[in-house]
Structure 1
Amino acid sequence: MEAFKYSLDKSSKKYVCPNCNKKTFVLYIDTETGNYLTTDFGRCDREQNCNYHKAPPKGKRAFLIDFITLKSISDKAYKLTDVNGIISIVPKSQILEQSKNNCWITEWFLKTSIINYLSSESKYFNTGSAVILNEVINNISLSERTCNKEPSFHSLELLDKMYFDNPQIDNLTEFLITKFSKDEVFNAKQNYFITGTNHFWNNATVFWQINNKEQIQGAKIMLYDRYTGKRTKEPYNHINWLHKAINDPNFTLRQSLFGLHRINEDYQKTIAIVESEKTAIVMSIFLPEFIWLASGSKGNFKFELLEPIKKRNVIAFPDKGEYKNWLDKATELNAFGFKIAVSDLIEQTDFENGFDLADYYFENNF
């Protein structure tokens, strides 16, 4: 019988779920040490209402793809023609195993490709660079569940009401005022429509995801410490969404890059992308010669979100520890006509993983 390194805690202990904020969350435990994993790894017991489940990494999940031809075109890439005649450029690092007529390609790559893979056989490869791929609801990934639904949009009237008519204090803005002038912070708030709210937590911040067509695809709510400017992560990550706060059960979330509406301000400016919304705001003050966008998470650096800026010159600034992943993704996308350069500035620092560009600039300017 296979012994699993991680398992759900079999005791009666329950913690606050990072998705629904109810004390119904069962944590994963390391079966070798008996220690709990971090508080985002676990399963919510509210099966009908939440079903959040984030399991520890099991390795890289891959799907079996049949092909007509698979030809090496460089040291790093293959040209693959699948059985449907679709031609794709696939990084060699994303093909985990191959035979004469088929190969195993990582789910991470397939999610952003045009290759039909969901009906194919899949399995996990235990590699040294495991990727967490199993954040699921009812064993169906969020992207697979929503891909066939039309996205929902918040109304501009809702933004106006929260931003203009009933403004609230938020901790992130209070922190920024201690680092920059009031005019600089005011301009940044206007550029990104930074809004305070008491939904879920007092003095939280709303980050509106407004696309390049001025449609509001989503609004993420996060809580920050007003004195340090750091996100509140204990006893759980304080992240939620406005459509849940206003009880809109029919809202279909299809994220966009944070700040995407700004790309229409100046077609000559280079676009810079970071992971954190806060970092995009901070860097827009430090380096206003760029248009600063944020992916919102490391996994959102992908084709679906980046497609609106395909024709623009882009520089990506990944967090410490993510340089190789973002470089690999940029290399794939550039083969399809994108123009993305990836900076290794943060990767060259001695700071721990997760350190980002805003941390770097704060460290060197204050």
Structure 2
Amino acid sequence: MTHKYELEKYKGIRSRHECPACHHKGVFARYVDTDTGAYLHSDVGRCNREDKCGYHYTPGQYFKDNPDEREFAAHGRSTPIRQSTPGQPGKIDRIPKQYIIQSLGYNSNFVRFLLSLFDHYTLESPTVVRLMSDYYLGCTKDGSVIFWQIDTRNRIRAGKIMQYNPDTGKRIKSQSGAIDWVHSKLKRIGKLADTWKLSQCLFGEHLLQKRPNDTICMVESEKSAIIGSGAMPGYIWMSTGGKQNLKAEKCECLKGRNVVLFPDLGAFDQWMEKGKEIAQRVGFSLTVSTVLERIATPDDRRDGLDIADYLIRQIQTQSNTPVSFAPLTREEEILQQMNAKNPAIMQLITSLGLVSTSTGKQIRTA
């Protein structure tokens, strides 16, 4: 029996994609329309890593969450085209503020992990208190964390619901539908209209207005943004919510800012190319950190580690020779380029004990 939508048959590696949940490449089978051959939305499909991920978002679930999009899919389009009046932006649906207020709390397994990571020698856990205040971390009854997406106008765009192991801080990926969304839950219980449309923004975007002069550190996952902010609070840590979500339309809010990208291992070339393109289009200063590329072991690369993994490792082991993950100053970037051309320059700098006149710190080039 042929169904309207079926998982794409294997036709080589090009027919398998990056999973939207675990972000492994070549493991995700998307659903296609058997009449037209068109894909459904990029999140609709099944991850082949059933034991380690278990993500499976069916066409039925997708159309239940987004009933209006069945008509668009019937015409061979994977996502609807929003119509807007010339000169006016498309309508942005938002989640009522009451739901973020109701969700706030420390009773998530992710926050339990944060409490085990930071502030061991204090009673008040000031780092975790700050993170809770900055990012409005929510929780559900089963201990999942809610990462709220709030834009620069304080509109609550979305809430991503994820479960973590409280001891290791690792995502729990073995459950079917390991990622859920607040708007999907509210639709299922009739609290949001079926016509409500998801329009995501960068995680942590609301912090831009509060800190207009601070450098922005951009990472893939919400977890990495939180860990980064906990370890290095002098920067604004934001996340795209996934490697494929580094997009110009999301980055419009970064215009005129200083931005540092921290790609996960395995994503450096893609983020370097995409980041340069977006920075030029939007208009912001861009640096792409090479620190992970320089310190990664073969095992690290195989596992696709991110900056949060290294920061957690450094905090837990209390390394006597910690790696500096802080973005290089402009002065340090120039010296790094000079050192690559002539290593003797660094020998001279080291022998003379030169320091950065702007920061007073030893100049870093590696």
TM range (shorter): 0.5 to 0.7
Match of 1:234 among 156, 167, 174: 174
Separation in 1, partners of 2:77, 2:163: 28
Aligned partner letter, 1:203 = G
Q: Distance in 2 between matches of 1:27 and 1:335?
A: 34
Give yes or no for contact 1:51–1:137 (8 Å, CA) kept in 2. Answer: no
Q: Which residue, out of 254, 273, 280, partners 1:328?
A: 273
Counterpart of 2:93? 152
CA drift of 1:240 comes to 1.1
Distance in 1 of aligned mates of 2:293 and 2:148: 29
- The sequence identity of aligned pairs, in percent, is 28
1:224 corresponds, among 151, 164, 177, to: 164
Q: Look up the match of 2:114.
A: 176
1:161 aligns with 2:102: yes
Q: Find the partner of 1:343 among 270, 289, 293.
A: 289
* Greater fraction strand: 1
Structure 2 portions without partners, runs of 5+:
1-8, 22-27, 31-46, 67-71, 85-89, 120-124, 317-366
Q: Which 10-residue stretch deviates more, 343-352 or 239-248?
A: 343-352
Task: Give 1:43 deviation, angstroms.
Answer: 7.0
Q: Does 1:355 align with 2:305?
A: yes
Tell me the amino acid that sits aligned with residue 155 of structure 1: P
User: What is the rounded CA distance, in whole Å, between the counterparts of 2:167 and 2:252 in structure 1?
Assistant: 37
Could you say what the CA RMSD is over the residues aligned between the two structures, in angstroms? Answer: 3.2
Q: 1:228 to 1:286 in 2, by over 3 A?
A: same
Where does residue 298 of structure 1 map in the other structure? 243
So what's the TM-score if we normalise by structure 2?
0.62
Runs of 4+ in 1 over 3 A off after TM superposition: 5-8, 39-43, 47-52, 136-139, 144-149
SS at match of 1:245: helix
Give how far 1:319 is off. 0.6
Which residue identity is paired with 2:99? L
> Secondary structure of the equivalent of 2:206?
helix
Distance 1:37 1:146, change over 3 A: farther
Is residue 206 from structure 1 mapped to residue 146 from structure 2 by the alignment? yes
Name the amino acid aligned to 1:364.
Answer: Q
What is the TM-score with the length of structure 1 in the denominator? 0.62
Amino acid at match of 1:150: K
What are the superposed Cα offsets for residues 300-346 of structure 1, whole Å, 9 maximum, x if unpaired?
11101111012100001011111111100112123322322111222
Could you tell me whether the CA contact under 8 Å between 1:279 and 1:358 is conserved in 2?
Answer: yes
Bigger proportion of residues as helix:
2
- Contact preservation (8 Å) 1:283, 1:358: yes
Amino acid at match of 1:233: K
Which letter does structure 2 place at the counterpart of 1:332?
E
